[in-house]
Chains A and B, each alone.
Chain A
Amino acid sequence: GAVVSQHPSWVICKSGTSVKIECRSLDFQATTMFWYRQFPKQSLMLMATSNEGSKATYEQGVEKDKFLINHASLTLSTLTVTSAHPEDSSFYICSALSTSGYEQYFGPGTRLTVT
């Protein structure tokens, strides 16, 4: 089946620094990828839709200048959390839309802790 990887799997950073998370589709091309965030005991919340070669579409309430998304190729999307604060600590998960456009394949997630 389709495989999506994320890197890093976990990261601890200091408040005020920036963190980049990579999402790769390993065996298929994905023109559309999605970035989600999940806080403890809560469901996944869509942050933004990442489209290859164009600007990302952000959900209401998500600051596009704080969460920078770059989808530079058909197999890679990156999410950069700029000037991270402790309240940004969360589980960040990406998904890639299948070539059929029907299923989403999820990466293993990145656990971010901001101290």
Chain B
Amino acid sequence: RKEVEQDPGPFNVPEGATVAFNCTYSNSASQSFFWYRQDCRKEPKLLMSVYSSGNEDGRFTAQLNRASQYISLLIRDSKLSDSATYLCVVNTNFGNEKLTFGTGTRLTIIP
């Protein structure tokens, strides 16, 4: 089983729609969770950290369910500029900050 699993997509969503991504992780001792965004042929950029209480940043909402080892990202009112690959990232080795990346979910917003 992969340490971090994501639905690779692609997700093709009309502009203005709401889209949700899911991610599961295998190591129950994982400490930190993130969503990164990666544009084609570019480096990943931190979108948001994910906290147990859930957190929201504008149109983006992230949720963490430790019992189910499940992370989600919700994008509301999607924009054309949201088209990218979204990476679920987990810190599986607390203390040395090593990150494990999921393979990413490709999102395309259609005008």
Interface of A is mostly: strand
A74 vs B72: C-alpha distance when bound (angstroms) = 35
CB pair A93 B104 closer than 8 Å = no
| B101 in the interface (beta carbon within 8 A) | yes
CB pair A108 B97 closer than 8 Å = no
CB pair A108 B102 closer than 8 Å = no
CB pair B43 A106 closer than 8 Å = yes
Q: Which residues from 85 to 110 on chain B have a C-beta closer than 8 Å to any C-beta of chain A?
A: 87, 96-104
- Pairs across A and B, CB under 8 Å, 24 listed: A34-B98, A34-B99, A42-B103, A43-B87, A43-B101, A43-B102, A43-B103, A43-B104, A44-B44, A44-B87, A45-B101, A46-B98, A49-B98, A93-B43, A97-B97, A102-B32, A102-B97, A103-B46, A104-B46, A104-B97, A104-B99, A108-B43, A109-B42, A111-B41
Chain A: interface residue total (CB-CB under 8 A): 20
Beyond contacts A103-B46, A109-B42: 9 other A-B pairs, Cβ-Cβ < 8 A, are: A42-B103, A43-B101, A43-B102, A46-B98, A49-B96, A49-B98, A97-B97, A106-B43, A108-B43
A18 vs B5: C-alpha distance when bound (angstroms) = 35
| B59 in the interface (beta carbon within 8 A) | no
The 10 A-B pairs at the shortest CB distance, nearest first, are namely A106-B43, A43-B103, A43-B101, A44-B101, A109-B43, A108-B43, A93-B43, A106-B44, A97-B97, A43-B104
| A61 in the interface (beta carbon within 8 A) | no
Residues of A within 8 A of B (CB): 32, 34, 42-46, 49, 91, 93, 97, 101-104, 106-109, 111
Residue of B at shortest CB range from A91? B41
In the complex, which residues of chain A have a beta carbon less than 8 angstroms from the beta carbon of B45?
106
